[in-house]
Amino acid sequence: MKPCNENIQKTIALADEMIGLSEAGDADREDVGCGILYGILRDSAYKIKKTAEAEKQSHMKKGSWK
C-alpha cells in the first residue's frame, strides 16, 4: 500500500479511537466541562473520519488504492 493510503487508513483508525475515547470520557465525566470536552472530541473525530473516508473514496476512484 502506498504511504499516502496508509496515512489515510491510520487517520480513520485514529478517528475511531477518538470516538471511543469520547464515549468513555462522556460516560465517566463528573462535570459539565468534561461533557463539553468530550463533545468537541466526538464532533472533531466524526469530521476527520468523514474527510478521510471521502479521500479514500477519491483514491479508489483514481485507481491508486490497492
Are 35 and 26 spatial neighbours (Cβ–Cβ below 8 Å)?
yes
For the segment 10-56, what is each residue's pLDDT rounded down to a tens digit?
999 999 999 999 999 999 999 999 999 999 999 999 999 999 999 99
The pTM of the full predicted model, rounded to 2 decimals, is 0.92
Total domain count, the chain: 1
The domain containing residue 42 runs over which residues? 3-62
HSE of 36 in the Cβ direction (CA atoms, 13 Å)? 3
Q: Grid coordinates in use for 64?
A: 491508486
Q: Grid coordinates in use for 37?
A: 470536552
User: Cα dihedral sign for 38, 43, 48, 49?
Assistant: positive
Q: Grid coordinates in use for 66?
A: 490497492
